[in-house]
Structure 1
């Protein structure tokens, strides 16, 4: 789909919200098939995700980047903000989301987005994210990019099914 030389990572704007929502839904439906209940995935609506994306893009405490190869079509996005965990300290950063259009998987775009997000977070603060325990592909991606599980888990509801999420963190030196 894209050559890495053509890849552009730039801050997202409100104008990107609709495409971010579409990428989000497409990625969820592909990545979580067999993990998240099919009924839940089928119920995902880009219009609902658009409203949420627009609200998050309007929040000055949250930073979002998009990946594009032509300056207009969103291939993927990453979003960070203040950590929301009970044990978070002031200044800790959480990767809220990183999703790619499934057609863009395997091209290094997610790695470029993750590196951008990591670079935006000071090295002396905890950088964390949550990933579904059964999402082997994502867990491998995070480990390959230097993040490690810290032993903290939580249960989240997806429709009427509770699934385990595992927290990953950037090791501190």
Structure 2
């Protein structure tokens, strides 16, 4: 499958929100309660991404993957809260494109951008998301022992931090 990676156009951001919503529902099913997964809406996430991008576009990088005229995935990265550390804040593939190389293409594209921010990069993953953890581990990411509890909707969910040199 061929995907094109590019910076977002302003009219991509609502589609990014829609894809983020669908990706979250698909990836977290069985990990997070259905009620928590219904938190927000595709339109609300689109507005959230539009607003976030408006404020962070000078310090962060959003990349979209398109297959033909379909948004297949996206990454979002920037500086971590820790000085000199880069953070991959989001990597999502449309559920129809999971397992078809979109995530891998996005990750390979993100690594050099992360290296321009710091010598080490981090990301957070749900502890019980085995599929995502295997994906990151195949890409050289390692759980570094740091954990946190963050809500999805109103449900607290345990996350593990992964890191790697870049």
Taking structure 1 as the reference length, the TM-score comes to 0.88
Q: Which runs of 5+ in 2 are unaligned?
A: none
Post-superposition offset of 1:92: 1.6
Post-superposition offset of 1:138: 0.2
In the TM superposition, what are the counterparts of 1:94-109 in structure 2 within 5 Å? 94-109=87-102
Q: Cα distance 1:56–1:159, how it changes in 2: closer, same or farther (>3 A)?
A: closer
Deviations 1:10-50 (A, max 9, x none): 11222210110111011011100111121011233012111
> Residue 11 of structure 2 corresponds to which residue in structure 1?
15
Check conservation: 2:78, 2:114, Cα contact below 8 A. no
> 1:49 pairs with 40, 45, 50, which one?
45
> 1:161 pairs with 155, 163, 166, which one?
155
Deviations 1:53-77 (A, max 9, x none): 112222211101011121x321000
> 2:65 pairs with 64, 67, 79, which one?
67
* Moved segments of 4+, more than 3 Å: none
Taking structure 2 as the reference length, the TM-score comes to 0.92
> Residue 112 of structure 1 corresponds to which residue in structure 2?
105
Check conservation: 2:36, 2:153, Cα contact below 8 A. yes
Q: Which runs of 5+ in 1 are unaligned?
A: none
- 1:151 paired with 2:145, answer yes
- 1:137 paired with 2:119, answer no
- Figure out how many residues of one structure are paired with residues of the other and give that number: 163
> 2:36 pairs with 40, 43, 48, which one?
40
- 1:77 paired with 2:74, answer yes
